[in-house]
Amino acid sequence: MGKKKKKRYVVKAPVQFLAVIGIVVLLALGAVIWLLSCTCGATRVEPEAEATPSPSPTAAVTAVPTATPEPTWEEQRLASIEHYVRAYGNCPDEAAIQARMATMTIDPDRKMVAFTFDDGPRDDITDWILDVCEQYGVRATFFIKGDNIASHEEQLMRMLSLGCEIGNHTWMHTNVEELSASEMREEIGKVNDAIYDRFGYTIKLFRPPYIKYGDKGSDTRNTLIALMNEWDMAVINHTRSTHDTYDKYTADMIYQRGVQETDELGKGLDGSIILCHDKTKKTADAFARIVPELLSRGYQFVTVSELLHCSEDGFHAGWIYSSAK
């Protein structure tokens, strides 16, 4: 008999069982896929960066305008002189202008004297005096009559171009003590207006004809002082006279009075306001000798305003100056 073959047993799972297994597998697979999608597909939320505060708007810086300092009296003086040097100086070039301006300096520590000339301008006499000023580079003050202005504009322009000062001596050389308040205003104001209208020059000094301006406390003096304050002017007397209007006085005698260091009243020459008149040739001749002599002694020839500004008290509107101090 032949050898028996072993039976092979094949387990046959029922169909229902297989279906259950399939469902479980599908569910498990779905769960895995869902977990993977949740993990891989999730968007990572970064922590919000700390906000950097925006800089506060810078307040607009309003530029504080730098206050321009008022020009000093000296700066105003030099600017005014240069204006007239350029306008009337007949300087051929810039070098000539600067050479002229170099003569306008003032050393407040050196001796100085202010020569004044009343009653002009006049033909020839005033020109001769101005010739001396130009030759030596010195300055003087001219107290003019208003009725001489129209016919002597060339002399007035030359005065300004040489750094000289123009002062007021009334329109008709009138004694102010004989004028009403309105007449005084007319006699003085008319000169100021005429000079300003023609040359743009503002007069700062008034010398009363005959050196008469009323007693202290009188209506005449009070009226005059009120006008001086209104017009920013001062009344100028003198500290020494050359007596050049005296008939007996020669050019040599005028010269001697102009250069003596101490006068008969004991007043020194330094800081003096000297009274002259541009009326006669003897005055011009004396001045031509006085200037080089005093220059050799170290004196400066300045205008009255320059002298007062360099003095201890300075210049003040409404004052009556009978001395440089």
Q: Active-site positions?
A: 118, 277
- For the chain, first and last CA: distance in Å? 173
Rg (CA), the chain: 50
Rounded CA-CA distance 116/168 in Å is 12
In degrees and rounded to multiples of 5, residue 176 shows phi and psi of: -65, -20
Look at the alpha carbons of 141, 123, 128, 162 in this order and tell me if their dihedral is positive or negative.
Answer: positive
123 vs 17, 142, 200, 211, CA distance in Å?
A: 151, 14, 23, 24
Reference 304, options 236, 224, 213; nearest CA is 236
